[in-house]
Amino acid sequence: MERVTRFSVSIETDLLNRFKSLTKKRGYQNRSEALRDVMREALVREEWAKDDEIIGTITIVYDHHKRDLTERLTAVQHDHHEIVLATTHIHLDHDNCMEMIAVKGRASTVQKVADALVGSRGVKHGKLSATTTGKRIK
Contacts of 3 (CB under 8 A, 6+ apart): none
25-40 confidence digits (pLDDT tens):
999 999 899 998 888 8
Q: What is the pLDDT of residue 109?
A: 96
Higher pLDDT, 136 or 122: 122
* Numbered ranges of CATH 3.30.70.1150 in the chain: 53-132
Would you say domain 53-132 falls under CATH 3.30.70.1150? yes
Cβ atoms 58, 132 nearer than 8 A: no
106-119 confidence digits (pLDDT tens):
999 999 999 999 99
* Numbered ranges of CATH 1.10.1220.10 in the chain: 13-49
Q: What is the pLDDT of residue 134?
A: 80
Secondary structure element (H or E) that encloses residue 116, with its range: helix 107-118
Pick the CATH number of 13-49 from 3.30.1300.10, 1.10.1220.10, 3.40.50.720, 3.20.20.70: 1.10.1220.10
53-81 confidence digits (pLDDT tens):
999 999 999 999 999 999 999 999 999 99
What's the predicted TM-score (pTM) here?
Answer: 0.78
pLDDT category at 1 given cuts 50, 70, 90 is: low
